Structure 1
Amino acid sequence: MEETASSSTVAGRLFAIGRCLCDSARLMVGMPNYDNYVAHVRATHPDQEPMSYEAFFRDRQNARYGGDGRGGFRCC
């Protein structure tokens, strides 16, 4: 008898592949995963509140491109 994958298993695998590709693309452009950041802060710094997604995004963008006004690349 042949085994066939159910549609939910195939959809789950496609979703996992898509997530992996998105994570890889973010890391290639220097944008780490926010969920990993939150897990790290909660595990290693339980007394600190994690940054909001917006603050995290700005922080990582400034760290990568130097847009904090202290020299380095600035768009505007």
Structure 2
Amino acid sequence: MAGGVKPDDPLLTIDDIIRSGACVSGAYATLRRIARRVSAAMPASHIRKLLSEEEQRYVDQAEAKRNGYGDGDGYGDGDGDGDG
């Protein structure tokens, strides 16, 4: 994967795809089908080339979450004070 990671083309894993809505059994069935052509993490654009048009929607969903357009507002509990 020469050229590095591009912000508009995030690296995705099978876990990202499943967490974005793909069913586990379907995701792993697809992974087995394309296993010789994948890495542990790949740019979304590369994954799309290996999938059918119907399967690509899960990549789109995972990419949206990785780009920060998923659930959550970034706020949490804590005041920053502590020992050390």
Q: TM-score w.r.t. structure 1 length?
A: 0.29
Report which of the two has the higher share of helix: 1
Q: TM-score w.r.t. structure 2 length?
A: 0.27
Higher relative contact order (CA 8 A, sep 6+): 2
Report which of the two has the higher share of strand: 2
Structure of greater Rg:
1
